[in-house]
Amino acid sequence: MDVHTARALRRFLWLAILLCLLILVCPRRVGAAPQSAPPAAPASPLQSADKSSLDADEAQALQNAIRSAGDNPQTLIQQLEEFLVRFPKSPRRELVLRTIFQQAVTTNDPAQAISAGERLLEITPDDPNLLLTTADLLARHASADGHSQERALDYATRLVAWAEKARNVPPPPGVPAEKWAETQSLTCARAYVTRGKLYADTGKNAAARADFEKSYEAYPSPGAAQQLGDVLARLGETERAIDFYATAFAFPEKEADPARREQLRRKLGSLYLAQHRSEAGLGDLILKHYDELTQTLAPRLKSQADSNANLQDPFEFVLERLDGSAMKMADYRGKVLVMEFWATWCGPCRLEGKLLERAREEFRQNPRAVFLAVNVDEDRTSVPSFLQEEGWTLPVAYARGIDHLLRVRALPTLLIFDPPGRVMYRQEGLDPGTFVETVEKKVREALAPASANALSGSR
């Protein structure tokens, strides 16, 4: 996609957001019939003029907020927050909050996402996606004070109630019953495990055990099995804990985290040794569970989506290098990360790759700045030959779904993450005349201590 097309698409997306926001308060301007209302005293011309003026002021303020944000999602969030301060009772409030929430989640800004999510839940208290994401964000990122835990537990409990009811709802037209049932089971499992973690964190082990058991029953996963093993060990149910640790260790995963498996192996070995005085028979137990799991989960494993599915934090993703080895995004936490999304069929991507090589040279001796070329080709067969032909020296990885999380809609797309892990710059398309200078400038800004202090102070 050429730069002019990419810019036109970006302008169209911003205008679409603006139109959605404007249409909620200007129905008459798009041909909607006025709603009936109880009889009221007729408004004076002055009152009508004031109302019209307020509508115009609000619409103009929103337009200015979107336009002034440019390509920076953090600026967009700040501008929309200022809009809500200025117009706290705006009929656009829900849609503005959803835009803030979506941008905060996409750019990995958990504090802002929690704030927007909780305000949205005051408007739509039974929204399952909001409940799940907000509870999960609170559990992982909020302070450990009792009030935060109570809020997270409340959201998780409401999510569990919704998920239990949803399992009895028939599938919508056109959705296969089997796929619908799997999706609902997975939602239920995630709801239980989210609440179970909160119970475990507050020492309510019996309640945590019940939720982890329900989670594993609804949709077996190594995470639920390990969590169940942990809580059973704390409750003194050693044999059951060993059983679930062995299940978690034997679980057939495509991309198992070596560090997590090593930690699980130590837990399993230690508990088994304490119970049986030796590790004799442990290998047989693991093989037994592996055989059972591969047979029980055969249909699911055959059609199972990528292991990155359902992740909301880009730094939890595991990408794939050209040689098939795992590239953990977690290794880049705390660094300035420049990610270029490209494909072999994208003409401008060839030039952007070479320009990015030039920008990278400026920071080659700085370990805090990392550059990564992320390929999104569905057919990877031509990728190695493309790289050999172009002579790129950039580290290259296959996207494995992270492009969908980060809403990469055009190619090439460049994202720059700051050390806290938020997207501080986004560019769709290519402007060859300014690309290298812009990238170098943005990376320097992200590396600067003053920038880091300003970001932390703005939270």
Q: What is the per-residue pLDDT across 221-259, written as a single tens digit (0 to 9) for each?
A: 999 999 999 999 999 999 999 999 999 999 987 656 777
Q: Is residue 417 part of a domain?
A: yes
Decide if 422 is inside a domain: yes
**What is the model's pLDDT at position 1?**
44
pLDDT computed for residue 312 by the predictor: 86
Q: Using CA atoms in the order 394, 364, 420, 159, what is the torsion angle rounded to 10 degrees?
A: 10
The reply to whether 429 falls in a domain is yes
Low-confidence ranges of the chain (pLDDT < 70): 1-54, 142-145, 174-175, 254-256, 301-307, 450-459
CB atoms within 10 A of CB 122: 9
Rounded to 5 degrees, what are φ and ψ at 165? Answer: -70, -40
CA distance 56 to 414: 36
Q: Is residue 96 part of a domain?
A: no
pLDDT, position 210: 97
Whether the Cβ atoms of residue 79 and residue 66 lie closer than 8 Å to each other: yes
Total number of domains constituting the chain: 1
- Residue 220: what are its φ and ψ, rounded to 5°? -55, 135
| C-beta of residue 396 within 8 angstroms of C-beta of residue 387 | yes
Read out DSSP for 22-46? HHTT-GGGGTPPPPP----PPPPHH
Best CA proximity match to 321, nearest among 392, 400, 260 = 400
Domain of 336, CATH number, reads 3.40.30.10
Closest by CA position to 368, among listed 424, 439, 419, 440:
419
Q: Is residue 320 part of a domain?
A: yes
Q: Which domain holds residue 323?
A: 314-457
The Cα 268–Cα 284 span in angstroms is: 13
77-111 confidence digits (pLDDT tens): 999 999 999 999 998 899 899 889 888 887 888 89
pLDDT recorded at residue 445: 94
Q: At what angle do helices 110-123 and 93-106 cross, to 10 degrees?
A: 150
In a domain, 270, yes or no: no
Contact 315, 329 (CB under 8 A): yes
- Contact 152/135 with Cβ under 8 angstroms? yes
Q: Is residue 448 part of a domain?
A: yes
Domain assignment present for residue 76? The answer is: no
Q: Considering only CA atoms, which of 127, 45, 134, 168 is closest in space to residue 312?
A: 134
